[in-house]
Amino acid sequence: MPETTQFSETEGNGYTGGRLRPNTILLARYKIDAKLGGGGQGAVYQARDLNFPDARRLVAIKEMIVTTTDANLRASSLKTFQREANILATLNHPAIPKIYDFFDQNDSAFLIMEYINGNNLEEILIKTKRIPMDKILEWAIDLCDVLHYLHSYQPEPIIFRDMKPANIMIDSLGKVRLVDFGIAKIFVSGVKQTTIGTEGYSAPEQYKGNANPLSDIYSLGATLHHVITRKDPRLEPPFSFAERKLMDFNEEASSELATVLDKALNFDPDKRYQSCAEMKEAFLALRYRPTMSVSTPKANGATSEMPRRASRDLNSSTLDGVVQPIWTFKTEDEIRSSPASNDQMAFVGSYDTNLWAIDLNNGEFVWKRPSDAGIACAPGVDMPHSQVIIGSEDYTVRAISMRDGRINWTHITGNKVRSSPTVAHGYVFFGSDDGKLYALNADNGRYQWEYDAGAAIRSKPFISNDRVIFGTEGGEIIGLELNGTRKWAMRPKKAVTSSPFVDLEGICYVGSFDGFIYAIDADSGFSHWRVRTNGPVISSPTVHRNLVYVGSADGKLYCINTQTGKERWTMQTEKPIVASPIVHNGIVYIGGTDNIFYAVDAMSGKELWRFNAKGAITSGAHIADDLVMFGSLDHNLYALPVVQQ
């Protein structure tokens, strides 16, 4: 991409690039990690907030430098900068980064902001050959929404003035974040009005210093035209978008979409959309026009409307030996974790950042509780307190009321939480990628203790009457006392993501990336036996009678005698098994990355039936009220009948 040309009248005003170096500490609190970008007026840095010594909390720091020797001009500039920083600090919209602090030091002013983990749209255009049109429309809708929020702000509207791909971040969840609100415009020296914008994207009236909400509509149209056609307007004659037809450069573009952008890019402001809300409606009509079948609806990520489902009568759920769902529930992204249930409600986390609550009887939407990142662990049910415990990759564990989805308490760790919580003895036990195993009071989330294992913990801890047992990504299986004191440790050759299971005899079963299934004395850590598979064992074992069942990345489901460690039978599938099995009424249920959910006779290993999902199944099933439920990477939670043999 060519260098962006700014036409803000600031040449020769005394600004220089950012000067902070890595490990510089500001206000004895913010430690500079790296420079993210910068220009003639300052820079943006990634920094760590040292007020959270046990957590890696990142912030972005925007530095603006004033090198003028005029004391009055300097004071005026800093006062104006702070006034605009205060306005931005009052903004509250999911697409606008949060602002935490403002201060000046020496000849610089600093703005402390939320750190966005992602890439700007200009970088994405460089790195990719194609962006799906549905995703572009999703971004367009979200950008209209945030611009409408700014234009409707009270007491006075806020005009963004510099909409372009470089100022649009796409975060790690694929969501739009608007960055760089042009605070640098107030650092001017002796001019009546600053004209700000970027050539190629700015509206005609903006060149005359007459920016208004309709100018932002033009710039958004220019930005989307660039994204769809991949023709950079900075390299083309001014205001020549009509010469570059969308459908000549992108076969996914429609004439209806071209009409929307043509209106937004009209030279005459009075002929454009007169608000971003109006423009948003046009994009919504394009994205959600009725062209898809009822059986494969797309969930609307911007609302809490109930996704469509397919309901079937229990008695007709098996047709000619083919199992049919009682109901399905579609979330907004992949389901990578197991569901749970309590009191006629099912709960499941999705990588769309939400914990979903669903009516167990009919698959109807009840409520959803968003986090700030994807959810890759299973919910833990705390029946005494009528709450669900869920971790998220936003570093946080939340206790959520089963009744209405309200948050009862939260606990922030130092990294992503991918370990499913276990509720036992009135406490919540879980691990984090920060390498620690936590114990919290289930009632109020109060910290009890933590154990530092030195490596990420992604397995679900097993809690017995006197032991806490879990695995680490560093390749250890660790047994603690209930007070967090280390009792024993065993070191396989590779990571232990598999969650341990302890049977009534006090034997712990767990798998490892080294390909082995281990049987260990839960009290002492003494090894009883190990069985080698032909692939990593990510699946978590379960025990039925004197048999242990577990899957392997070699594509096999293993059934092993708990006393001898000898294989009783194996069942071969077409692709790796990373999901965990569950046994009910003599049937083993397990899903595979071959998109198939299997029901297998627990004693013989004979396949009884199978169900084809539309995506890989990477987590365990859950049984409640004669339903076997499991999630899939196809975004669906399936509820199948528990069929008797």
Averaged pLDDT for residues 66-78 = 72
pTM greater than 0.75: no
Ordered by start, the domain boundaries in the chain are 25-287, 323-639
CA 101 – CA 370 distance, rounded (Å): 26
Q: Tell me how many degrees the CA angle 9-12-14 measures, rounded to the nearest 5.
A: 110
Between residues 307 and 109, which one has the greater pLDDT?
Answer: 109
CA 507 – CA 377 distance, rounded (Å): 25
pLDDT at 329 over 90: yes
SS (H, E, C) 333-347: CCCCCCCEEECCEEE
CA 438 – CA 447 distance, rounded (Å): 8
Architecture, CATH, for domain 323-639: 7 Propeller (2.130)
DSSP lists the bridge partners of residue 526 as: none
The correct CATH number of 25-287 out of 1.10.150.650, 3.40.50.150, 1.25.10.10, 1.10.510.10 is 1.10.510.10
Alpha-carbon dihedral sign for residues 71, 73, 74, 75 = positive
pLDDT score of 4: 39
Averaged pLDDT for residues 500-507 = 91
Instruction: Name, of 97-101, 190-194, 321-325, 518-522, the range with top average pLDDT.
Output: 518-522
Averaged pLDDT for residues 13-25 = 67
pLDDT score of 287: 73
pLDDT score of 644: 61
DSSP letters, 16-71, are: ------TT-EETTTEEEEEEEEEETTEEEEEEEETT-TTS--EEEEEEEE-----H
pLDDT, tens digit, for every residue of 433-449?
999 999 999 999 999 99
Reference 379, options 330, 416, 346; nearest CA is 346
The continuous run of DSSP H or E covering 114 comes out as strand 108-114
pLDDT at 631 over 50: yes
Q: With cut-offs at 50, 70 and 90, classify the pLDDT of residue 188.
A: very low
Torsion of CA 283, 262, 177, 80, to 10 degrees: -130
CA 311 – CA 293 distance, rounded (Å): 16
Say if residues 634 and 641 touch (Cβ distance below 8 Å). no
Amino acid at 558: Y
Contacts of 341 by beta carbon, 8 Å cutoff, 6+ apart: 347, 360, 381, 622, 624, 625, 629
pLDDT at 192 over 80: no
Say if residues 540 and 579 touch (Cβ distance below 8 Å). no
Sheet holding 345-349, edge to edge: 340-342, 345-349, 354-359, 365-370
Torsion of CA 106, 108, 112, 118, to 10 degrees: -140
pLDDT score of 186: 30
